Structure 1
């Protein structure tokens, strides 16, 4: 089945059934384009280029700040080293503290996803169904979740590579180098005036590109206003509505802990998510624990649920830079099923799986 993982960079991914909960929130951690039009256009608010010898955090903060207020319309394309290709049309507008985004898939199953700040609403035309959920984190690169200057400097370095052009716009090219094998590196093309990321490559330990994302076409003269996108988002008349309510929880209170931390990754959120339909008409829905970690660039989510009576097969999957690991966790009181997912090397997911323990 095709669903869209919330761990950030994939348009469409084939993942285990436990991740069906994420179909309501397809995410795009896209490079964000400039707010001016035309070949060679200059975008956004000027932002000083980091001085020679600046660290990764200086470049990343510049990219992050630039991504917050940009308005644009563009076609976004994701390609993997294995040849998979996905694309979407994106409208992004901001007004004060309100940002609204519309994402229309151009490949794979048809769907339209709107995000207004933390509210996400996905329209599925084939089912005449609209799904709504609340989310805390914006899926832009870099999101710097839980990151401090010292933690970024410990695990990443920056190497300016010169200049380039993307969609007719002049850029500075910088490589974000991972200092260990637990995370990927990145190569980013940043609009020279503002620091907005127009193109992003994810690199493995050998420097090979495992995934690339970029805008192939950009329009900035007349971005769709916030009010127009909001009206489209709120027009649910004639659609069957389904709302997913996330319940914040403490993993320790649910009986879960890590026996040892995975280097660089800190917990950033944990929720109980309802999934599927109740077994009986008035019965409770099945719930799954989502425990999310980040090192400031990469994100890993652990999905934990009772094993149940269905047949499951342990597996490891990859789509571009997103890896998924599924594993049975034996427990005398009843086994559990773990799905670990993130844009990290497989060894990082293995480290999380080995460290996850039941504490009651």
Structure 2
């Protein structure tokens, strides 16, 4: 059964897209990234391999000051956004703003994250060390695992800057491949493509303008404008509302090779689980069956797949939804393997 993802407005899907947009993956590189930057680069850049350029990109995404505009396309949907990023005294600040359609912004000040919606509604996300999933998607990726291969593909020119091209190729059918264009001088990711098994680009990210100022005025990260009344709300990063069996613990019997749970240890009452292989991420949502749940089946917008299925255990019906950047068959196998620990 094919579901039109664009017409769905369920709580499950909204939670999944929020996680994918501004939450998931952050713990992978917000914690411990500094340790990896003790990495010893070869003295001559002409001797750098793909791994060296990837590590250079990871460092630049955090430690560079930059501002610019970029296009992001996913399937038939596309958006233009602006980004301002500052690194000063070990602290990151960032402002990500949507430039077309409805107004929307995400502002990060260290580990404090605020989402600004139309009508100046501000939602502060609780306990989330955000890094945006557009410009910093690859920061948590650690090569050397068997499920991806790194290949250096020469140089190309993007927005008047020389770029080194790196391919991250999936070694199985459980994940996608990627192609990256990295600023040769500064290390920032200027373009990326997410590619399926048929070598079709499902998503594209590309800067149309970028600059690297030495200093950025910190006031550009202020959320509260003069004279504006802004409502602040606190939301949790995971909604654990479920009307039955709150003492249950859950297990996933099928996981693709290389995926690990990144949102803590299994515990009672946990009905949101997030898994990552260091690059791709998917979330599992478990809830009781009601009229607001997604119908069974799969759909895809760009690389984002949503697959839902119903299960019944001891007279209780529960609904599992997997949302993430994985092939539909992978999402289906994961969703059907979710079981309560009895």
TM-score bin, normalised by smaller chain: 0.7 to 0.9
Q: d(CA) in 1 for partners of 2:322 and 2:191?
A: 27
Superposition map of 1:192-341 within 5 A: 192-221=184-213, 224-225=216-217, 227-232=218-223, 238-246=229-237, 254-270=248-264, 289-308=271-290, 310=292, 312-341=294-323
Structure 1 regions of 5+ residues with no counterpart? 1-11, 30-45, 273-286
1:66 to 60, 65, 73: 60
Which residue in 2 is equivalent to 1:7?
Answer: none
Question: Cα offset for 1:212?
Answer: 0.8
Contact 1:317-1:325 within 8 A present in 2 as well? yes
Alpha-carbon distance, 1:169 to partner: 0.5
CA contact (8 A) 1:24 1:122 kept: no
1:199 and 1:340 mapped to 2: Cα distance?
A: 27
Deviation of residue 113 (structure 1)?
Answer: 1.5
* Count of matched residue positions in the alignment of Structure 1 and Structure 2: 308
Task: Specify whether residues 310 and 195 from structure 1 end up closer, same or farther in structure 2 by C-alpha distance, changes over 3 A only.
Answer: closer
| 1:264 CA displacement | 1.3
**CA spacing shift, 1:234–1:135, aligned 2, 3 Å:** farther
For residue 104 of structure 2, the aligned residue among 111, 117, 130 is 111
- Deviation of the 1:289 alpha carbon: 2.8
- Which stretch has the larger CA shift, 183-192 or 214-223? 214-223
Q: Cα–Cα, structure 1 residues 330 and 136, in superposed 2: closer, same or farther, change >3 Å?
A: farther
Matched residue of 1:269: which SS?
A: coil
Residue by residue, what CA displacement relative to the aligned partner does 1:268-317 show, whole Å, maximum 9, x if unpaired? 11599xxxxxxxxxxxxxx9832111111111111222223546412322
Q: 1:235-281: per-residue Cα shift (whole Å, max 9, x none)?
A: 896122211134799xx974101224321111111599xxxxxxxxx
Q: Is 1:141 the equivalent of 2:137?
A: yes
Q: Secondary structure at the match of 2:62?
A: coil
Q: What is the DSSP-based 3-state SS (H/G/I as helix, E as strand, rest coil) of the residue aligned with 1:67?
A: helix
- Return the match for 2:330 from 348, 355, 359: 348
Which residue of structure 1 lines up, in the alignment, with residue 30 of structure 2? none
Measured after TM superposition, the shift of residue 351 of structure 1 is 2.3
1:255, 1:125 → 2: CA distance? 38
Go from structure 1 to structure 2 and tell me whether the alpha carbon gap of 1:25 and 1:120 turns closer, same or farther (over 3 Å shift): farther
State the alpha-carbon separation in 2 of the partners of residues 261 and 219 from structure 1.
Answer: 41
CA change 1:157–1:14 in 2 (3 A) is: farther
Q: CA deviation at 1:57?
A: 4.6
TM-score with structure 1 length normalisation?
A: 0.75
Counterparts in 2 of 1:177 and 1:22: CA distance versus 1, 3 Å: closer
Matched residue SS, 1:90: strand
- Is the Cα–Cα contact under 8 Å of residues 50 and 59 in structure 1 kept in the other structure? no
Q: Hey, what does 1:176 align to over in structure 2?
A: 168
Determine the C-alpha separation between the residues in 1 that align with 2:265 and 2:14: 15
